Amino acid sequence: MDVINRLIRDGSLTKEEYVELLGYAGDIGAVKLLKEEAVRLRRKYYGDDVYLRGLIEFTNYCRNNCYYCGIRGENAKAQRYRLAKDEILSCCAEGHRLGFRTFVLQGGEDPYYTDDRMEEIVHAIKTAYPNCALTLSIGERTYESYQRFRLAGADRYLLRHETANEEHYRRLHPSSMSLTVRKRCLYDLKALGYQVGAGFMVGSPGQTKETLAEDLVFLKELNPEMVGIGPFIPHHDTVFADEPAGSVDLTLFLLSVVRILLPKVLLPATTALGTLDENGREKGLLAGANVVMPNLSPVGKRKQYELYDNKICTGEEAAEGLEELKRRIEAAGCRAVSARGDYCKSS
Ligand code: 5AD
């Protein structure tokens, strides 16, 4: 248990120590200790507040072919859709009415959304809702593109690094993609003043304690404002259709560890966690998470944004189920707040 006390004391470990730490993922005493410290830190910086983000999945076209993802470009069975600017703005209007003060525009890497089109969308949203934060999650672009979106008003950017280990990265992605580019994008986004989110799936094929340890070393070094962690869930039309799903318990363990590494991080209890476990989101909050991202996409399109099988999209994780979601957040000892929920800058 030495390594756990060291993590709690120093807020970071070496790669070898993370590997040792991960050996405690099934140890009830260790899990409890990490959870308590994670919740203490979350409370210290954010009180009991849980921030709500309205997620708008605006396109499922994608030029990439990530082996794990249901909307990868080569999946001919995916029914593709994209939303027009006015449709995106209607989602925002509904979200604003429901109390959301952050909108997250997420999509595949869809060439239709050129820099000009994206800039126009960002500008329109920020003009209509100047008091709201806008998060983009649209993959890898050039520094110049990121700069244009930032100048147009985008505040935050989510781009999971997926894995910080080169070999593992190649196991999950075709050779057209590279970890070097991925990391460069993340550092570009930081340099431009975005609040940046990195992250990874838990239990993706080829993941080991060593690759996870590298993820933790990388996260500490990047020092992102947000970290997205959810279990891998197979999708039937992908290369990994027959691979087992990731573990809910290991995901919860890692949420606690990340809260301790990056005490002020904005940490979502993800949809994937809620998909694998009916109470996954509450458990995530109790492990140190402080963000949930209900789905604001047009109801008729939600099923089509199918990153993995059985992705939940109509229950309390949907914007219409907000009251139920709020009750669940309260049951976890927290409070859903209607605020932008920016990264905490005070010490
Ligand atoms: N299971 C879980 N998460 C997935 N993602 C993509 N495919 C899957 C899957 N099969 C995650 C990736 C991506 C984010 C938008 O969704 O980590 O970055």
SS (H, E, C) the chain: CHHHHHHHHHCCCCHHHHHHHHCCCCCHHHHHHHHHHHHHHHHHHHCCEEEECEEEEEECCCCCCCCCCCCCCCCCCCCCCECCHHHHHHHHHHHHHHCCCEEEEEECCCCCCCHHHHHHHHHHHHHHCCCCEEEEECCCCCHHHHHHHHHCCCCEEECCCECCCHHHHHHHCCCCCCHHHHHHHHHHHHHCCCEEEEEEEECCCCCCHHHHHHHHHHHHHHCCCEEEEEECCCCCCCCCCCCCCCCHHHHHHHHHHHHHHCCCCECECCHHHHHHCCCHHHHHHHCCCCEECCECCCHHHHCCCCCCCCCCCCCCCEHHHHHHHHHHHHHCCCEEECCCCCCCCCC
Question: Which pLDDT value is given to residue 115?
Answer: 98
Q: How close is the Cα of 200 to the center of ligand 1, in Å?
A: 8
In the predicted model, what is the mean pLDDT of the chain?
96
Question: Which pLDDT value is given to residue 346?
Answer: 81
Question: Which pLDDT value is given to residue 314?
Answer: 74
Per-residue confidence band for 316, with pLDDT thresholds at 50, 70 and 90: low
Mean pLDDT for the stretch of residues 256-278: 97
pLDDT tens-digit map of 71-121: 999 999 999 999 999 999 999 999 999 999 999 999 999 999 999 999 999
Ligand 1 binding residues, C-beta < 6 A: 68-69, 160, 162, 201, 230, 232-233, 235, 272, 307-308
pLDDT tens-digit map of 118-164: 999 999 999 999 999 999 999 999 999 999 999 999 999 999 999 99
pTM above 0.95, yes or no: yes
Q: How close is the Cα of 32 to the center of ligand 1, in Å?
A: 28
Mean pLDDT for the stretch of residues 258-275: 97
Is residue 264's pLDDT more than 70?
A: yes
Question: Which pLDDT value is given to residue 317?
Answer: 60
Is residue 266's pLDDT more than 90?
A: yes
